[in-house]
C-alpha cells in the first residue's frame, strides 16, 4: 500500500510539473510562432521595398538590387530565429558568437568566391562595361553577354563562349570600345620624296569624303607624319561612329590601297596630230584622192 501511494503521489507531482511547464512554455511557443510569422512577412516586405527602391536609382543594376534585397531578407530572418530561440531561454549571445565564428570560417574557406562577389558588386555599381559592349583587358577580349555577381560572360570575336571571374576584370585596366559614340582611325601611305605631297593629301581627303560613314565633324585631316631622304609618310586621320569603325576602317584601307596602286594612264595622242604626222611622211594626195608616194631623195 505504501508503494502504491508513493507512486500515485509521484505521478501527481510529475503531472503538476508538466502542466506548469506547459503553461509556462505555451506562451513562449505562441510568442515564437507569432514572431516567426511576423518576421517572415517583415522579411519579404522589406526585401520587396529594398528591391523596388534600388531599381529606381540610376546606375544600380537589376542583379545588384536583387542581391541587396536578398541580403536584407536573410538578415531579418536570422534575427527572427535568434529572437525565437531567446523565447525558450537560449542565450542569444552565445548564438551570435557561434554565427560570427561560422561566418569567419566560411569567409576564409570561400575567400576567392567572396573576392569575386565583391568585384562583381563594384562592377555592377561603377559599370565600366554593360551588356552588348566590346571590351578588352589584359587577358580577356570580347562582347559582354551577362554580368553576374561571381563571373562575367563574354563572346569572343570568333563566337567562342568565355566566362571570366569578376576579380580578373576588376583588378586590371579595362578598355571599352563601345562606350564612346565616336572613334578615330588613321591610315598611312608612303610616297617617294619626289612625289607631290599636296596631291597625295587631296587624294586621301577625297577618299574619306566619299565614304558616308566618315563624320564631317570632326573633319578628316591629312598630314605628313614622317619623312626621310627617300620617302614621306602621309597619314589620313578621320572619325566614325563606334558601330561603324571596324567596317569603315577595312573598307577605307582597301580603297586607299587600290587608289595608290593604279598606274597613271598613258596619254592618248591627238587624232589631228596623228594625221599631220602621217601626211608629212607620205606626201600630198594624188588627183584621184590616192596618196602620192614620196619621191626618193637624190
Cis ω on the peptide bond leading into residue 123 (within 30° of 0)?
no
Q: Helix, strand, coil % (nearest 5) of the chain?
A: 55, 20, 25
DSSP H or E run through 207? helix 197-210
Clarify whether residues 171 and 186 are in a common domain. no
DSSP H or E run through 241? strand 231-241
Please write the tens of the pLDDT for every residue from 14-43: 666 666 666 666 666 777 788 888 888 888
Cell of 272: 589631228
Clarify whether residues 75 and 153 are in a common domain. no
Bridge-partner residues for 223, per DSSP? Answer: 235
Please write the tens of the pLDDT for every residue from 60-90: 666 677 777 888 888 888 888 878 777 766 6
In the predicted structure, residue 182 carries a pLDDT above the cut 70: yes
- Do 282 and 291 touch, CB atoms closer than 8 A? yes
Residue scoring higher pLDDT (271 or 205):
205
First and final C-alpha spacing in the chain:
181
Domain count, the chain: 3
The segment with the largest mean pLDDT, out of 23-27, 145-149, 278-282, is: 145-149
Clarify whether residues 14 and 104 are in a common domain. yes
Strand 161-165 vs strand 182-192: parallel, antiparallel, or unpaired?
unpaired
Clarify whether residues 223 and 141 are in a common domain. no
- Do 120 and 135 touch, CB atoms closer than 8 A? no
Please write the tens of the pLDDT for every residue from 85-139: 777 666 667 777 777 777 777 666 656 677 888 888 888 888 888 888 999 987 8
Please write the tens of the pLDDT for every residue from 221-267: 999 998 888 889 999 999 999 989 999 999 999 999 999 885 443 33
Q: How far is CA 285 from CA 9, 88, 246, 298, in A?
A: 162, 136, 67, 22
User: What residue has cell string 596630230?
Assistant: 273
Cell of 204: 586621301
The pTM (predicted TM-score) of the whole model is 0.56
Query: Which residue range forms the structural domain that includes residue 137?
Result: 128-176
297 lies in some domain: no
Cell of 231: 620617302
136 lies in some domain: yes
DSSP H or E run through 279? helix 271-282
Mean pLDDT confidence for 177-181: 90
Bridge-partner residues for 142, per DSSP? Answer: 135
Provide the CATH number for the domain around residue 147. Answer: 2.30.30.60
Amino acid at each position: 500500500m505504501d508503494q502504491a501511494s508513493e507512486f500515485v503521489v509521484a505521478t501527481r507531482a510529475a503531472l503538476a510539473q508538466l502542466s506548469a511547464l506547459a503553461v509556462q512554455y505555451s506562451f513562449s511557443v505562441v510568442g515564437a510562432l507569432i514572431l516567426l510569422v511576423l518576421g517572415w512577412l517583415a522579411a519579404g516586405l522589406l526585401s520587396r521595398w529594398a528591391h523596388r527602391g534600388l531599381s529606381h536609382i540610376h546606375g544600380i543594376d537589376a542583379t545588384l538590387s536583387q542581391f541587396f534585397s536578398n541580403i536584407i531578407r536573410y538578415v531579418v530572418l536570422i534575427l527572427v530565429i535568434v529572437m525565437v530561440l531567446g523565447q525558450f531561454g537560449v542565450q542569444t549571445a552565445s548564438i551570435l558568437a557561434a554565427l560570427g565564428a561560422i561566418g569567419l570560417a566560411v569567409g576564409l574557406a570561400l575567400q576567392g568566391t567572396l573576392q569575386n562577389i565583391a568585384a562583381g558588386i563594384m562592377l555592377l555599381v561603377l559599370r565600366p562595361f554593360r551588356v552588348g559592349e566590346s571590351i578588352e583587358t589584359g587577358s580577356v577580349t570580347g562582347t559582354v553577354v551577362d554580368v553576374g555577381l561571381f563571373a562575367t560572360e563574354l563572346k569572343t570575336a570568333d563566337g567562342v563562349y568565355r566566362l571570366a571571374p569578376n576579380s580578373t576584370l576588376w583588378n586590371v585596366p579595362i578598355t571599352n570600345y563601345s562606350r564612346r559614340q565616336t572613334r578615330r582611325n588613321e591610315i598611312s601611305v608612303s610616297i617617294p620624296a619626289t612625289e607631290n605631297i599636296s596631291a597625295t593629301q587631296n587624294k586621301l581627303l577625297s577618299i574619306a569624303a566619299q565614304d558616308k560613314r566618315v563624320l564631317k565633324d570632326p573633319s578628316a585631316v591629312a598630314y605628313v607624319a614622317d619623312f626621310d631622304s627617300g620617302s614621306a609618310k602621309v597619314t589620313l586621320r578621320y572619325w566614325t561612329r563606334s558601330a561603324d569603325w571596324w567596317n569603315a576602317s577595312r573598307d577605307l584601307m582597301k580603297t586607299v590601297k587600290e587608289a595608290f596602286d593604279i598606274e597613271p594612264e598613258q596619254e592618248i595622242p591627238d587624232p589631228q596630230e596623228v594625221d599631220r604626222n602621217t601626211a608629212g611622211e607620205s606626201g600630198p594626195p594624188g588627183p584621184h584622192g590616192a596618196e602620192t608616194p614620196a619621191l626618193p631623195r637624190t
